[in-house]
Amino acid sequence: MGEITVSAQRIDHLLHDPASAYGAPYVQAYADLAATHRGRPVAEIVPLLRAAVDNALLGFTGADLAEQAEAISTGARYELRVRVTG
């Protein structure tokens, strides 16, 4: 399970918000990769996740991304605990 803290002003960078002009939430990028990269090597998925994280200006660690990539590769569920700050 992963954990991330996101400011309320940037929650749209993580989750889709129809009221926001931000158009590349990380959860969508993750879902897209999960749909297209199951069975692919973790080493192939991590850079794609890193690019999505950098684009979304989020602070996942390399270990977080490796864990997420492993879940995508194996088709396992990945649980992310999100803490939203004021």
- pLDDT (tens place) for every residue of the chain, 86 residues total: 789 999 999 899 999 888 888 878 999 999 999 999 999 999 999 999 999 999 999 989 999 999 999 999 999 999 999 999 98
From CA 40, how far away is CA 28, in angstroms rounded?
19
Would you give the distance in Å from CA 19 to the centre of its chain? 20
Spell out where the chain has E strands.
2-7, 80-85
Q: Which helix (H) or strand (E) holds 27?
A: helix 26-36
* Domain ranges (residues) in the chain: 2-85
